[in-house]
Each structure stands twice: as structure tokens, then as C-alpha cells.
């Protein structure tokens, strides 16, 4: 396998030889695993995050991106949500390449968890994404587990069945790439995250290559749907840079700017504007510091080291000579800006007259958290400035509707599959594709696990699916055990807990007294004594019947649950966690221990003989 090749015959649009196979039976939508090309998402459909798209032909699998989804507030104690890798673990001998389109967490965050379960020789990523992945693997002590190969728009990846090429796109992070995958059954374009900025900061979109790909013919386009409901076009990053410079210039006192840590191009704009206004810069937040360090190393951030100051130096300069850049633009509880607002930051206390600038928009679902931080900052005396249509302190990194139309008209796909978005966004994007000439029946709106089959340049959704449950990660656990723990937390939060205490004598297989029930978070005990007494009798009667025959402790626990859970649900419409506690009489325990000791000693005698 090669990562780069200069042979002009290997251009991304080179002719592909298509395998002649029997005409498909579209009524059955069945898969021929030998000759069909399969496309399916492990994550990224019906959600914003967890992006992972797989392309399979015979005994080869190519994967594009491996991201995480950050949990909602109702996922108690969850750090990340990742795709279920079970199918890929079973078929890991087929995996030939993991390709990364860019370095955002929803595209690279799952890599450490993926490598803990699957042995992979190489990951292909652009320069900035490569540096971020290496940093991430170093933190997880996985630096030696996999080689990261740097790619660009001229790189090629060849396998037995796949021929992969790339083209440059504009996004809110450097080195973003779109992917062209030549397969035996047609060409596929996966756009990655993109926007069309005619005056970008950094690399321009590769319009010529996209138009050429469209001219030679694309069977399936998989397109970013994040901004499918946003009309018009996006604001240029250069306009944002000018607006930020003007705000810094007119701010009289200390300025605190919060933005996305991963948006290194925006970070560089803020730093350059601060230096141009004769301010020193302090950077706070672990992710922001990491990105700043990588940006300086790769030459994306070009301001001199002398322009940076540490937290200890903040009090040595006048307020109008300081610019603080920090994380927390989405109201994250532990981020630097939230700690500043709450007065718990180690170095920074808000001084009346400070200006706090949000160079971001709240991600859907984060509005309340952001509002809470803004209110707290205002309460302690800060002047808070947020993005609005009149200020332009932020611009999106994803294509709105008019730019999605441009992509559709450049690529001219035969079939269209919207990806990277909630269900409503996928439907809206499919409607846009229909406006651009893709027939309604060729818009494939899928869910995670659905299999799109390519056969002789035709596509259909198969009647088979791939397992794609979400795995909740608590700490660094990727076994799926955390998933059951989180489900228990949700049940506890919703329905509470009921403990059933039973005393038995295992010598005579006899229950000694009526069970006792204790509950927490289920019902108000003083007002539900009758219910609990009835529940005790239900368990007592079930156990007496069960103990008329020889049983085990496991049988007794199952008997308690199977008798009590339906009764409680019937009476309260709640399903609390039922925990059986079985107490055995001391004499019975002593007898069990004596038997166990006797068995051990007899086994030792047998061994000696």
C-alpha cells in the first residue's frame, strides 16, 4: 500500500474497470458479499458527532474518520459516546486503512478507544490532524500502537479493490480534506466537513479538482448536513478577523476572548489582532494550550514567543496591555471561562470593566449553559460581548444551503446520501439535493448501521444491517461495561431502588421470616406502608413456593426479582432497580464452610496418592 504517488495516471478521477455481475434483484435488496460494494455508518447519522463511515468490498474495509459524541446532560457521569466497534473487531483482518478528513474531536476522538480493541498498522491524516492524533495517543499511552502517515491533496492510497484520492476543502481547522474512493462498482465522494469561503485564511477549496471529479462521474455523494437548515452563505473568516481586530482596538481595559479550542485559524486571528494592538497574550485551558503548541510547531500560529505571558505575569502589566484567550465558549462546567465566572480560576479574577468576548455560537443544546455563564460574568461586573448578525465575531465551519447547492452542482452525483447531521438535517439536505437535480428516489436517508449497496453504478439500501449501538465511556473503559452502569444510573434517577432482605436457613431449605423491603428514591415510605407490606407478602409467597424444591442462591434472587418487579410496575408504573439481599443462618454458613474445608483436604490427600 502506498500513501503518495506522482504518476499522472493515478489521478483521483482515473477510469475504473467495473466488474460485470448479474443484474441485482431490487425486490429482495439482498447483498452479494463477493461482488457488491457496501457503505455503512457506525456513527454520524441522526446525530452530530461520532462520525465513522465504512466502505467494504469482499475482504477489504476502508474507514473514514473515527470520532466521539459528547454526552447530553441526561447521560450521568459519561465522558464520551463512541461507536460500537463489535462488527469491525470481528472483521479487523479486512481493515486496510483508517483515513481522517480533519482533526476535530467528532472525527478523531474515538481513535484511542478504537486502537485499544483493533490492531491497525497505519492511520492516514493531514498534517494538523496528524499532530493532534499523536498528542492524543501520547496521552493514552498508545504512541507505539500505530503509525500515523501524513497525507495531502496529492496523496493516493491503493488497495486491491479501492483507489483513494483527496482534494482540499475549507473548514475551521487546517488541512481539511475531502475523499474520493474509486471502487469496483462506482465512485464515492465523502466531503468531510467543509464550507466554501472565497477569501479564506489558509488553503483554498480545490474547485478545479471537485469540478473534474464531477465531470468524470460520481455514483454516490456523502455530504456534510450540519447546516442544512441555515439559508444563504457563510461569512468569510477574513471578515471575522477584521471585526475581532476592531473590537480589540476599541476595548479600553482587559479583554478575555473565548472560542473553540480546535479552531486554530480563529485562535491565530485573535492572537495576531492582540499583538497588533500592543497587547500581551495569555492562553488558558488544556485543549487550547495543546492546539496553540501544535499551531506554533506547524507554523499556523506565527506570533513570537515574546508576545505570550504566563498566569503569574498578568498582574505585572496594565489592563489595556492584556488579552486572555481561553476555553469555555460552550459553557462547559470545568472549562477556563466557567471557572473564571465562578471565581475559582487560579490566576484570573474578573475586575469590573473587563470585557469578555464570545467568538462562537452556542452549539444546539448548549444554550442554557452558555446563558448561565454570561449571566454570572455580567453579575460580577464584566462587559460581555456575544456574536450576532450585526457583530460577526464568529462564522460557521459548515456549508449552509447555498454552499451545499454548489457542492451538489460541482460533483453532480447519481445518488445522494446526506451524512453528519440529525435526522431533520438529513431530510432538509435531501430536499436540497432534489432541487439540484437528484431524483427523490435516489436520495438515500439512512440511519447508523443501514447498508447502502453499490452494484454496477447503482445504489440501494439492503435489507441487512450492521450492529451499531452507542457505547458510553466512563473514564477510559471501552468494554461496554460502562454502558450498563449508565443505564443503572438512569433507572436510579428515574425510578429509584428497592432492596429486599430475606433470611433463610439453607440446611433445611427454609425461609425463617417474612422479607423486609427498604426503598430509596422509589416512593415516599410513610405514605406507602401498605404498598410495601403487600410487596413483602408477594415476595414471601413466591419464595415459599420456590423453596419447596432444592434451589440455589441465584434461583432465589431471580425469584425475588421476577415476583416483585411486575407487582411494583402494576401498582406504581415505575421499574426500580430491585436488589435481593439473602442472609443465611450462622449455623448453616458454618456447615457450608466445613464442607468446603473437607473437600479441600480430601483433594490434597488424593493429590498426594
**What cell does 508 get?**
433445611
Number of helices (H), then strands (E), belonging to the chain: the values are: 16, 25
Write down the pLDDT at residue 144.
87
User: What's the domain count of the chain?
Assistant: 3
In-domain check, residue 25? no
205, 72: one domain: yes
112, 223: one domain: yes
Q: Tell me the average pLDDT across 163-180.
A: 96
| pLDDT(604) > 50 | no
> Which CATH number does the domain housing residue 437 bear?
3.60.15.10
Structural domain boundaries, residue 305: 237-385
In-domain check, residue 580? yes
Write down the pLDDT at residue 476.
57
Confidence band of 479 (pLDDT split at 50, 70, 90):
low
408, 550: one domain: no
Tens digit of each residue's pLDDT (9 = 90 or more) over 249-285: 999 999 999 999 888 989 999 999 999 999 999 999 9
465, 350: one domain: no
Write down the pLDDT at residue 22.
47
| pLDDT(77) > 80 | no
In-domain check, residue 26? no
37, 125: one domain: yes
Given 419, 440, 473, which residue is the final one in a domain? 473
Q: Tell me the average pLDDT across 106-117.
A: 93
Higher pLDDT, 548 or 163: 163
Average pLDDT, the chain: 87
Given 385, 406, 441, which residue is the final one in a domain? 385
Higher pLDDT, 227 or 493: 227
Write down the pLDDT at residue 233.
93
**What cell does 446 get?**
439512512
**What cell does 298 get?**
506547524
**What cell does 225 get?**
448536513
Q: What is the pTM of this model?
A: 0.77
Q: Of residues 106, 223, 224, 450, which has the active-site annotation?
A: 224
Most confident of 66-80, 251-265, 522-536, 575-589: 251-265
| pLDDT(477) > 70 | no
283, 380: one domain: yes
Instruction: For residues 18 and 117, give the distance between their C-alpha atoms in angstroms, rounded to a whole number.
Output: 35
Higher pLDDT, 404 or 520: 404
Higher pLDDT, 92 or 589: 92
In-domain check, residue 24? no
398 is catalytic: yes
Could you count the other beta carbons within 10 Å of the beta carbon of residue 407?
26
Write down the pLDDT at residue 523.
83
Q: Tell me the average pLDDT across 77-104.
A: 91
Write down the pLDDT at residue 569.
87
Name 281's bridge partners.
308, 323
Instruction: For residues 152 and 164, give the distance between their C-alpha atoms in angstroms, rounded to a whole number.
Output: 12
Instruction: For residues 108 and 125, give the distance between their C-alpha atoms in angstroms, rounded to a whole number.
Output: 10
Write down the pLDDT at residue 493.
80
Write down the pLDDT at residue 402.
97
Tens digit of each residue's pLDDT (9 = 90 or more) over 402-452: 999 999 999 999 999 999 999 999 999 999 999 999 999 999 999 999 999
Measuring CA to CA, how many Å separate 604 from each of 393, 582, 590, 607?
79, 32, 21, 5
224 is catalytic: yes
In-domain check, residue 109? yes
The owner of cell 468569510 is: 236
Least confident of 68-77, 464-473, 515-524: 68-77
Tens digit of each residue's pLDDT (9 = 90 or more) over 10-24: 444 444 444 444 444
60, 169: one domain: yes
Q: Of residues 171, 398, 420, 429, which has the active-site annotation?
A: 398
Confidence band of 600 (pLDDT split at 50, 70, 90):
low
Given 340, 364, 385, which residue is the final one in a domain? 385
Percent of the chain with pLDDT over 90: 61
Amino acid at each position: 500500500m502506498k500513501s503518495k504517488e506522482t504518476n499522472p495516471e493515478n489521478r483521483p478521477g482515473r477510469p475504473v474497470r467495473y466488474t460485470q455481475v448479474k443484474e441485482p434483484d431490487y425486490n429482495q435488496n439482498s447483498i452479494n458479499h463477493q461482488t457488491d460494494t457496501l457503505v455503512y455508518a457506525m456513527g454520524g447519522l441522526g446525530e452530530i458527532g461520532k462520525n465513522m463511515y465504512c466502505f467494504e468490498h469482499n475482504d477489504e474495509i476502508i474507514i473514514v474518520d473515527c470520532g466521539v459524541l459528547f454526552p447530553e446532560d441526561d447521560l450521568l457521569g459519561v465522558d464520551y459516546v463512541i461507536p460500537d466497534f463489535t462488527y469491525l473487531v470481528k472483521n479487523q483482518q479486512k481493515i486496510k486503512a483508517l483515513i481522517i478528513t480533519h482533526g476535530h474531536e467528532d472525527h478523531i476522538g474515538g481513535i484511542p478507544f478504537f486502537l485499544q480493541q483493533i490492531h491497525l498498522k497505519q492511520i492516514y491524516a493531514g498534517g494538523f490532524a496528524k499532530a493532534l492524533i499523536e498528542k492524543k495517543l501520547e496521552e493514552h499511552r498508545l504512541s507505539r500502537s500505530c503509525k500515523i502517515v501524513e497525507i495531502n491533496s496529492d496523496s493516493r492510497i491503493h488497495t486491491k479493490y479501492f483507489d483513494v484520492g483527496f482534494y482540499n476543502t475549507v473548514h475551521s481547522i487546517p488541512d481539511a480534506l475531502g475523499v474520493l474512493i474509486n471502487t469496483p462498482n462506482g465512485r464515492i465522494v465523502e466531503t468531510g466537513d467543509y464550507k466554501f469561503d472565497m477569501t479564506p485564511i489558509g488553503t483554498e477549496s480545490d474547485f478545479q479538482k471537485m469540478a473534474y471529479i464531477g465531470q468524470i462521474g460520481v455514483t454516490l455523494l456523502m455530504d456534510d448536513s450540519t447546516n442544512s437548515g441555515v439559508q444563504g452563505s457563510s461569512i468569510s473568516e477574513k471578515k471575522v478577523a477584521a471585526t475581532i481586530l476592531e473590537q480589540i482596538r476599541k476595548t479600553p481595559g482587559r479583554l478575555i476572548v473565548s472560542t473553540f479550542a480546535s479552531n486554530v485559524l480563529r485562535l491565530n486571528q485573535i492572537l495576531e489582532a492582540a499583538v497588533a494592538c500592543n497587547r500581551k497574550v495569555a492562553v488558558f485551558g488544556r485543549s487550547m494550550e495543546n492546539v496553540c503548541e501544535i499551531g506554533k510547531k506547524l507554523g499556523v500560529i506565527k506570533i513570537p514567543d515574546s508576545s505570550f505571558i504566563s498566569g503569574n505575569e498578568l498582574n505585572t502589566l496594565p489592563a489595556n496591555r492584556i488579552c486572555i484567550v481561553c476555553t469555555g465558549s460552550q459553557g462547559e462546567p470545568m472549562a477556563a471561562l466557567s471557572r473564571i465566572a465562578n471565581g475559582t480560576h487560579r490566576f484570573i479574577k474578573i475586575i469590573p470593566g473587563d470585557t469578555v468576548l464570545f467568538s462562537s455560537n452556542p452549539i444546539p443544546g448548549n444554550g442554557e449553559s452558555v446563558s448561565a455563564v454570561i449571566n454570572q460574568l455580567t453579575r460580577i461586573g464584566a462587559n460581555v460581548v456575544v456574536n450576532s448578525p450585526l457583530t460577526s465575531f464568529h462564522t460557521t465551519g459548515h456549508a449552509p444551503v447555498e454552499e451545499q447547492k454548489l457542492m451538489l452542482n460541482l460533483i453532480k452525483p447519481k445518488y445522494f446520501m446526506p451524512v453528519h447531521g440529525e435526522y431533520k438535517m438529513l431530510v432538509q439536505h435531501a430536499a436540497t439535493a432534489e432541487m439540484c437535480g437528484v431524483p427523490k428516489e435516489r436520495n438515500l436517508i439512512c440511519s447508523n448501521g443501514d447498508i447502502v449497496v453499490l452494484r454496477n453504478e447503482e445504489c440501494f439500501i439492503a435489507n441487512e444491517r450492521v450492529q451499531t449501538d452507542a457505547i458510553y465511556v466512563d473514564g477510559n473503559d471501552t468494554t461496554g461495561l460502562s454502558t450498563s452502569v449508565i443505564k443503572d444510573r438512569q433507572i436510579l434517577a428515574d425510578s429509584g431502588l428497592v432492596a429486599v432482605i430475606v433470611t433463610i436457613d439453607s440446611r433445611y431449605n427454609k425461609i425463617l421470616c417474612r422479607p423486609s423491603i427498604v426503598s430509596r428514591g422509589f416512593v415516599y415510605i410513610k405514605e406507602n406502608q401498605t404498598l410495601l407490606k403487600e410487596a413483602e407478602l408477594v415476595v414471601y409467597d413466591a419464595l415459599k413456593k420456590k423453596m419447596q424444591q432444592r434451589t440455589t442462591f441465584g434461583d432465589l434472587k431471580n425469584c425475588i426479582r421476577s415476583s416483585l418487579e411486575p407487582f411494583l410496575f402494576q401498582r406504581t408504573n415505575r421499574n426500580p432497580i430491585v436488589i435481593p439481599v439473602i442472609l443465611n443462618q450462622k449455623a448453616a454458613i458454618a456447615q457450608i464452610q466445613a464442607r468446603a474445608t473437607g473437600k479441600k483436604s480430601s483433594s490434597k490427600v488424593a493429590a498426594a496418592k
